[in-house]
């Protein structure tokens, strides 16, 4: 319980120091905080960035899958070509 009290005291001191340093009153700090929380533009930008990143990752995975398939096909053809003379004898 003592730790909780000290945590609350430290938070109040930090808030008071912030208000003293910036010269803002409690109402201005509350308005700034509510604007930061209710920033739909930021949330929309983050959503768009996440969608773009997901698309880029999906494209990379597709390209890697195609490269692996090509490598496996090439290795299979090489193995078949190498085994063909031995099968003829």
Which range scores top for mean pLDDT: 1-5, 50-54, 77-81?
50-54
Its domain, for residue 22, covers: 1-38
Is 89 strand, coil or helix? coil
Q: Are residues 7 and 32 in the same domain?
A: yes
Q: What is the mean pLDDT of the chain?
A: 78
Q: How many CA atoms lie less than 13 Å away from 4 in the CB half-sphere? A: 1
Is residue 3 a part of any domain in this protein?
yes
Q: Are residues 33 and 10 in the same domain?
A: yes
Per-residue tokens: 36: 């930061």
Pairwise CA distance, residues 35 & 28, whole Å:
11
Contact 19, 26 (CB under 8 A): yes
Report field, pTM of the whole predicted structure over 0.95: no
Count up the domains in the chain and report the number: 2
Residues in CB range of 18: below 8 A, 6 or more apart: 24, 29
Q: pLDDT of 39-72, one tens digit each?
A: 666 667 778 888 888 888 888 888 888 888 888 8
Q: E strand or H helix at 72, and its extent?
A: helix 40-88
């Amino acid at each position: 319980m003592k730790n909780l009290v000290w945590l609350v005291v430290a938070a109040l001191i930090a808030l008071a120091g912030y208000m003293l340093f910036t010269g803002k009153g409690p109402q201005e700090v509350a308005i700034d905080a509510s604007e930061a929380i209710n920033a739909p533009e930021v949330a929309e930008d983050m959503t768009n960035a996440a969608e773009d990143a997901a698309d880029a990752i999906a494209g990379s995975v597709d390209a890697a899958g195609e490269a692996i398939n090509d490598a496996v096909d090439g290795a299979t053809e090489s193995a078949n070509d190498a085994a063909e003379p031995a099968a003829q004898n």
